Amino acid sequence: MSCPRIEVDLDKIRRNTETVVRRLDARGIGVTGVTKAVCGHPAIAQSMLDGGALGLADARISNVQRLRQAGITCPVTLIRTPMLSQADAVVGFCEASYNTDIVVIAALASAAIRKDKVHGIILMVEMGDQREGILPENVAKIAQQVMTMQGVALKGIGANFACLSGIAPTASQMASLCDLANEVEGVCGPFLKTVSGGNSANLPWALGERTTGRINDLRLGEAILLGVDPISGDQIGGMHTDAFTLVAEVIETGVKPAPFPIAMIDPALARLRIVPTSGVSMRVILAMGHQDTDISGLSMPVGSALIGATSDHLVIGVNRCTLKTGSELRFQMNYTALMHAMAAPDIDVKLLFDLPAKQPRHIQGKSEHLMLV
């Protein structure tokens, strides 16, 4: 079997999706499955749909094209503000997109008219993350402009939290977003179909005791894929945290001597020289490095510790080595490591527990209680 590879347990992704869908449905919130971390992998996306996600979302049009080419026909929303240069492709492949710039919206409208389509517009509001978004006081004005354009339709508003700032949303911020939805409707008239309250970082709020108000959608990627809260990194109760496993092959094992002392004329270079803490250490070298994933986002196997990595080598230390050349080691990944690994050209993806094509698994049974543990 080829290495390095990612083993994907599709059944665990389905069950993770089912768990959040059941619980959020009781709160009046639907789930949009976000596929950007897996580069729009069709089988993983289908597992989200099989688990009850109402639609899919991605940040890159190339990923959406991959979904469409695989035969996925559900609604797909582009969640990164479209590039002007891709307006035609966005309208061609996506039912809707999140937008912050009226110039881009105008380009989408023109593309939609040429294609005899109506493209959905969701306005992204800046609610404190300080990444993308329209300032709240300007949203109603932008919404009115959208209402005058042919080829596009105002579908809703949304906000983003904890991506750039790393700060989870507050109940006050969520209430403000709901108030803004009411304000936009008061100015523009039509009912907003979507009020998207954010991403996986919003789960603690969404599953709390407070009312969810107008919020009727969450865009979930990390919570479904990895079963963890993005802010704390804690496991979400009832969720699987091992749906993805990165497997690497051992290419060398043995004991390495301490580096020979090197006389350095430049004092600055001397200060940078690595000084080992012990004379020797048992080392395992794997055929994987910085080109393949975010090494700092890997969980080391039990009994091992990270020594270092280069572009294509990963070096770990072990107390007692039973591994040999050709052996495999398995790693769990955080969200950043997963994103890098799924995009790496030399890492294969092996699917486990796939369902027959177009045979969705029906959701049965009572909803599970979700909590962070």
User: How far apart are alpha carbons 287 and 248 in whole angstroms?
Assistant: 6
3 state DSSP class of 111: helix
Q: Could you tell me if 248 and 343 are in contact, meaning their C-beta atoms sit under 8 angstroms apart? A: no
Measured N-to-C along each axis, helices 171-188 and 136-147 cross at an angle, to the nearest 10 degrees, of: 30
Q: What is the pLDDT of residue 260?
A: 55
Q: What is the pLDDT of residue 267?
A: 59
Q: Kindly report the CATH number that applies to the domain delimited by 244-352.
A: 2.40.30
3 state DSSP class of 59: coil
Q: Using CB atoms within 10 Å of the CB of residue 280, give its burial: 0 to 12 exposed, 13 to 18 middle, 19+ buried.
A: exposed
* pTM of the entire predicted model: 0.88
Token representation of residue 291: 């080109």
Q: What is the pLDDT of residue 358?
A: 53
Q: What is the pLDDT of residue 362?
A: 36
User: How far apart are alpha carbons 54 and 34 in whole angstroms?
Assistant: 11
Strand partners, 282: 255
User: How far apart are alpha carbons 191 and 85 in whole angstroms?
Assistant: 31
Q: Give residue 216's identity as a one-letter amino acid code.
A: N
Contacts of residue 272, defined as CB under 8 A and 6 or more positions apart, other chains included, come to none
3 state DSSP class of 136: helix
Across the chain, how many H-helices and E-strands are there? 11, 16
Tens digit of each residue's pLDDT, the chain (373 residues): 799 999 999 999 999 999 999 999 999 999 999 999 999 999 999 999 999 999 999 999 999 999 999 999 999 999 999 999 999 999 999 999 999 999 999 999 999 999 999 999 999 999 877 788 999 999 999 999 999 999 999 999 999 887 777 677 888 999 999 999 999 999 998 789 999 998 998 998 999 888 899 999 999 999 999 999 888 888 998 899 999 999 999 999 987 776 655 555 555 545 444 444 443 468 999 999 999 999 999 999 988 999 999 999 999 998 877 889 999 999 999 999 999 999 999 999 999 987 765 544 333 333 343 444 3
Residues of the chain with CATH 3.20.20.10: 9-226
Q: Could you tell me if 118 and 152 are in contact, meaning their C-beta atoms sit under 8 angstroms apart? A: yes
DSSP H or E segment with residue 10: helix 10-25
Angle at 16 (CA atoms; ends 222, 176), nearest 5 degrees? 55
Which residue in this structure is represented by tokens 């992998």? Answer: 41
User: How far apart are alpha carbons 178 and 281 in whole angstroms?
Assistant: 58
Q: Using CB atoms within 10 Å of the CB of residue 283, give its burial: 0 to 12 exposed, 13 to 18 middle, 19+ buried.
A: middle
Q: What is the pLDDT of residue 170?
A: 86
* Check whether domain 9-226 has CATH 3.20.20.10, yes or no: yes
Q: What is the pLDDT of residue 365?
A: 33
- Other C-beta atoms lying within 10 Å of the C-beta of residue 176: 17
Residues of the chain with CATH 2.40.30: 244-352
CA distances for 179 relative to 10, 89, 136, 137, 192, angstroms: 39, 33, 10, 12, 12
